[in-house]
Amino acid sequence: MIAARPVGVSFGSRQVLADVSFDVPSGQFLCIIGPSGCGKTTLLRVLAGLIAPTSGEVTADGKAVRGPARSRAIVFQDYTKALLPWRTVAGNVALGLEACRVAEPQKSRRIEELLSKMGLGHCAGQYPAQLSGGMQQRVQIARALGQDPQLLLMDEPFGALDAITRQGLQDEVARIAAEQKTTVVFITHDLEEAIYLGDQVIVLAAAPGTGAGRIAERITVEIPRPRSQLETREDPRFLAYRHRLFGLLKH
């Protein structure tokens, strides 16, 4: 379980996050949504251990997070800067395994397994620049899964992709999270994506006055899984959630 106990972050005199608390039970999918500049990415970095909170703390299974760790993998938004352009697809996936000191022959087996899980088997020998954005994002996810994370942190991973590619990847991430029972914290600025993927959705908004991000609303999404791009999005409950959160995202 991941828990944020009133987390606050300030950069100098500027407060970026204030009083953010939540629990993510193991295996749960939490989506965090909010307008640009409300501190979503900062919050993700605090969860990763890349930034220490100014106040409060983040705990993973009861232990305070004091720095980055392999058990918490990140999938970055900008895939063009998150892959090693000089390594092939297989080589990029291998990086995570090398860091975890997985030796041959397990390493090759594991790479093959991860590539086929993400539908990348046919482009193992290609370089990232030869792939579409969606495929590059799959490589990042495969690499992240390679480090066997307890928590998968995803920072607007599909923000730069076209709608069709995005829906395909949403379903895959949902499937993999369910299969591996991985806890996921997923940041997005797409309300429908948040409801479609999340067990829980938290809306961050800038507080009037200070501008610091705080939790404006949280909902539990009670739509059973597996969900479907067509039916789930037409489900009255889906529409009701959308209706309820929509107003909070307007300025």
Q: Which residues bind another protein (CB under 8 A)?
A: 48-50, 67-70, 72-74, 76, 78, 81-82, 84-87, 95-96, 98-100, 126-127, 129-130, 147
Residue whose CB is less far from another protein, 7 or 89: 89
In angstroms, give the least distance from the CB of 100 to another protein: 8
In the complex, the smallest distance separating the C-beta of residue 68 from another protein, rounded to whole angstroms, is: 4
- Please say which residue, 81 or 251, places its beta carbon nearer to another protein: 81
**β-strand partners of 187:** 32, 155
Is the Cβ of residue 5 or residue 87 nearer to another protein in the bound state? Answer: 87
Compute the least distance from the CB of residue 233 to another protein, in Å: 32
Amino acid, res. 95: L
**For another protein, which is the closer residue by CB, 49 or 168?**
49
Instruction: Specify whether the backbone of 12 is left (phi greater than 0), alpha (psi in -120 to 50) or beta.
Output: left
CA gap 178, 118 in Å, rounded = 14
Alpha-carbon distance of 11 to 134, in angstroms, equals 34
Query: Which residues are CB-contacts of 121 (< 8 A; sequence separation ≥ 6)?
Result: 112, 115
State which amino acid sits at residue 187. I
Q: In the bound complex, what is the minimum distance in angstroms from residue 101's beta carbon to another protein?
A: 10
